Every structure is written in C-alpha cells, then in structure tokens.
A and B are shown apart, each in its own frame.
Chain A
C-alpha cells in the first residue's frame, strides 16, 4: 500500500494530478472483469463451467451470450432470476462478459469430497 502510494505520488510530480488516469489502466479492467465474471460462478460454476442445472457459459459464442442477456434484460425471454442480473449490468459489462466467457476452456467441474458426519 505504502509502496503503491509512494509510486502514485511520484507520478503526480510529472502529471500534477492526484487521480492519475495513467494508473487506471487495463490491469484494473482485467481484475474488474474477473471479479464480475467470478460472481456468476455460484450458479454457473468456476469460469462458467457449470456442474449442472444451469447453462455452461464457458466457450459460448459472444453473439449468443449477448443476445440471451439482452433478451433477459428486455424481458423478452422468460426467466426466474436472470432478468434481475441482466438489468443490473451495463451494455458494456454484458459485452465484456460475453468476451470473457467465450475465452474460457470447457472443463468438467468437480464436486468436493463428501465427509461423513
């Protein structure tokens, strides 16, 4: 944190601004997208590899993903839950998620080890 602050402060000497746009770069976007996509995992599995019951998102073509999400968003597709999520996302986020999931490899998700209790 200190290190970081120091670096940012140092950059400000050159750019004369506290909120350096130079540091709000693609790395932040990447981490932003990972976290957003990561929150889909509770229902759709790690990186979109559902163990069942919900669609596998990994490897979907972006156009299909976007069409489905836009339809949920517009209420043109019946859904129980997905319209609540689609309506909370921006157009850009839907496009980024479509790209993210299209790049994920399809793998078989695993179940955790059952323990006798």
Chain B
C-alpha cells in the first residue's frame, strides 16, 4: 500500500465518481419534484452514449478537437433532452395525479422499452466509442499516471455542477424548482407554471446524463444497449447515499461511490467492484435511511 498507489486510485476514483455524480443528479432532481425514481434515466444516459457515437462520426471532420468535442457534447445533451421531454410528456405527465407507484411502474416500463428499442436500432453487440480526444498523459512518474481525459472528466463535471448550483440557488426558475419540490399545489398558487418547471427539471437531469455519457464513453469506450443498467443502479445508489432529493447529496454520493469502487478493486478484489455499491446501499438504508444530506419528509395525512 504505497502512497503512489493511493494517489493513483484517488485520481481514478474521482473520474469514475464524477460520472456517477452527474447521473445521480438526474435521479435526485426528478425525485425532488415528483417523488418517484425515474428508472428510464439510466437509458437516457445510454442513448446519450449512442447519440455521441453517431455524432462523433458525423462531426469527424470538425477541427480542432476541443471544438469537435464541445459540439458532440452539446449535441448529445440536446438529444437526451429531447428524448427525456418526450418521455415526460407521453408517459409521466398524464399520471401527474395518479398514485406514485403507477408512475414508478411506468418508469420501469419506459426503461425496458428504451433498452429493447435500442437493441433493435443499434444492435446488441458492443460498439466502440470513438476516442474523440487522444489520451495524453499529463503527469507520468513513479506509478502515477494522470491523463488529460481524467482531468477533462473531473473538470467538466465540476463545471456543470457549479452551473447547476447557480441555477438552483440564484435564479428565479431554480427557486421555483425548489418551491415545486416542496409542494406542487402551493407552487401553482403562486402562479408558477408547475408543468413547465417539472419539464425543466427533466431538461437539466437529461442534459447532465448526456454529458456524463460522453465523459463515460471517453473513459470506457465500450457501449451497448444495456450500458445504462449498471451505471444507472450505481448512480441511484449514489443518490440514495447522499440523500435522495438533495442535489449536494447526489454530487457527494457519486464521488464517494466512485472512490469506494476503485479502492475496493485495488485493496480487496476486483470481483467486489459491483458488490461494494450495493453494500453501501444496504448500510445506508439501515443506518441513515434519509441519506447523508437528506431530510426526513413529513408525509401529510
């Protein structure tokens, strides 16, 4: 257990955790306003990865590379937003006054639909995500490798989370989102168009998922229609760990989960890679069910 190995794992864990955090934010924000787990969110992420794949071949001629990457990322985010808004409009909005369980089951249905549809459209075989940016080691020394992709992943994630924080806490629309997440009916009494605010929440969640998909594709360039399942579950664990409904919680939860995974692989065994996420889930549900930064929601009777 050398210090170098520790630092290397820290870098790897932060990069992996940033992706989880971005996806977890989508779960937690939708939960915040609608109190249901949007299981289709992981498939929005998966579709983002495929969207990025096709955009990359389409925009292959664009130079310089950073511009190409930026265009691919923005395009993918837009694509994910369109899919998520369509899902919200067709599948979730008609159920706005239905019991939460109905919406939850619908979300599972949408998720299965998107996964199987993708299998038909993209094929079941894994595809290679293009290396839009060449991996360049920035720092190469005694057992520590820090490459540009890792810096990009962490940097972009951090940047997007700061923007999110600014929107939620310093704009009128973000304040309206917090009002809606407290009580939709009272928010509508203020003249807040609640359907629009909810749709905007999906816009934010899905665009973060889209960006996460590109960052993921750059780091682990193998994508397939069931890509979202495991990432989605882990991001969901991250959201629950941080306290579902809490934005800061999702960010922290994602990072913690990424670090936990990487350290488990290094210090225990790689076969525990997936197990650790669910071990964390079980422990947090036993010890602190509301999550690290979550609050106990009073249920009105």
Chains A and B belong together in one complex: no
Chain B positions within 8 Å of A, measured between CB atoms, are none
